[in-house]
Each structure stands twice: as structure tokens, then as C-alpha cells.
Structure 1
Amino acid sequence: MQKKQTKIAGILLALCCVLALIVFFQTRPDTAAGEKQIAIAVIHGDGSENTFSYDTDAEYLGEVLTEEGLAEGTEGPYGMFITTVDGETADDSKEQWWCITKGGEMVNTGADQTPIQDQDTFELTLKEGY
């Protein structure tokens, strides 16, 4: 009896994983192929702000950040972990990190998985505290 329950639980877990993947792929934002113009505002730790405009064929934000030399980072399990933007490096000892927002709303993806559309506006803000 115990073996049968374990087998059923394993099958149910596998089905849940497959369902979660289907939902993810159906609900993730689309990318746009072709030429796009985007703006990226960088809000530094001292509150100063620089805005950059780019014309790009890239489909994801991470591509633009690295191709244009605006950001640097390390590769992690979720793509690029941004460490430096516009010459300012986050200080781990102060628990600083770069937050990505789009139109003022925090994105739920890393830079390498954040799709871009024509006329998108992103913000990269140096935050303190985890």
C-alpha cells in the first residue's frame, strides 16, 4: 500500500511541474523582434539620475545592457546578476543591489529574461538593504 501511495504522489508531483511550466510559458511577456527604441534611467546611490536611449534589435534587456556597456555583472542561475551600472558598483558590505523596474513597477525577472518592446522605459535603481 505504501509503495502505491508513493508512486501516485510522484505522478501527481510530475503533473504539477508540467502544469507549472505550461502556465509559465503561456503567461510570460512576449518579446518583439526588429528595431526598437527603449529608454533606461539609472538612479544612483546619491540620488542623481542619468537617462540613456537606445535603438536596438535585442529582445531582452540584459542584451542591451551588456552590448551598450551600461551594466556589468556576474552569471548566475537566473542569468546576469547586475553588479555595476553606469560606473557605480553595488557595495555588498552595505547590502546594495540594483533593482530593475519598468515604468515604475518592479519586474519579476532578471535582466536576461526581461523582454523589451518598442518604447519601453526601464529604471535601474541602486537600493540598500536586502
Structure 2
Amino acid sequence: MEKKDSKKHIIIGLVVLLVILAGLLFAYTRFKPSPSGDNKTVAITVVDSNAKEKNYTVKTDAKYLQQVLEDTEGLTYKGTEGDYGLMITEVNGETADFNKDKAYWSFYINGEYCSYGIAEQPVADGDKFKIVYEVQE
């Protein structure tokens, strides 16, 4: 009798787990950020380690920031792929090496810190992105 009860509890637990996972998947697909339509104008400002700014204006149909960066004439970047997407290590030839001096490139959208990696950060017409060389204290 105990084996049947044990199996019953395991099956109920698995069903509950599947229902929870389905709910989380639904919530993510329902509330994830989505890019806006075509013909967008996006501003990008790069602030280097000397606080010197370089400004770009891009007209694009890109849906995500990484595509916008690729479309931006004169802007270059490099990075390494990690668990959370592409980690930008170099912008316009300047490397930020966190292991060396705790420097990194941070990304802002409309004055707020970006919540997503560049491959998932949606882009809307009129967005203002800032890429800033920062050093953690």
C-alpha cells in the first residue's frame, strides 16, 4: 500500500511541477519585452575611459540592440559569449578588462540601466542608448 501512495505522491508532484512550469512559460511569453515596428531612429552615445563622448544616430529596422550596433557606421565592438549572452569587452577599440582593473562596459536605455543583454534588448523609435566605460570601486 505504501508503494502505491509513494507513486501517487510522485505523480502528483510531477503534475504540479509541470503546471507551474507551464504558468511561468506563459507569463514570460506574455510579458517579455517586444520590439516596436520598422523605420526607427535610435541615438547611441559611447563614453570612453576619458569621459569623451562619441554620438551616433542610426536609422534602422532592427528589433534588438545588437542589430542596431551592427548597423551603426563607425561603431565597433567585441565580446565573449557567456551564460547570459554576449559580454561586451571592447568598444571602438578600447578594452574594458574587469579582471585587470574592474572596468566594464555598461549599457543604458533612456537614462536607465539596461535590464537585458544586447541580443534581447528591444529597440523602439526614439530610444537613446548610452554605452559607458565604468570602473567598479
Q: Same fold (TM over 0.5)?
A: yes
Structure 1 residue 39, shift from structure 2 partner: 0.5
- Mark the runs of 5 or more structure 2 residues left unpaired by the alignment: none
Instruction: Pick closer, same or farther for the CA change 1:11–1:127 going to 2, 3 Å.
Output: farther
Secondary structure of the residue aligned to 2:37 is: coil
Structure 1 residue 65, shift from structure 2 partner: 1.3
> Is 1:91 aligned with 2:97?
yes
> Is 1:54 aligned with 2:58?
yes
Residue number among 64, 81, 85 corresponding to 1:79 in the alignment: 85
Residues of 2 paired with 1:121 and 1:21: CA distance? 30
Match in the other structure for 2:124 = 117
> Is 1:28 aligned with 2:32?
yes
- 1:25-71 deviations in Å (ceiling 9; x for gaps): 21122212321110011122222222211111111001121333432
Residue number among 77, 100, 111 corresponding to 1:104 in the alignment: 111
Secondary structure of the residue aligned to 1:112 is: coil
Structure 1 or 2, whichever has the larger Rg, is 2
Alignment of 1:8-19 (within 5 A): 8-19=12-23
Cα RMSD over matched residues?
2.0
Residues of 2 paired with 1:115 and 1:89: CA distance? 25
Query: Identity percentage over the alignment?
Result: 31
Match in the other structure for 1:128 = 135
- TM-score between both structures, scaled by the size of structure 1: 0.86
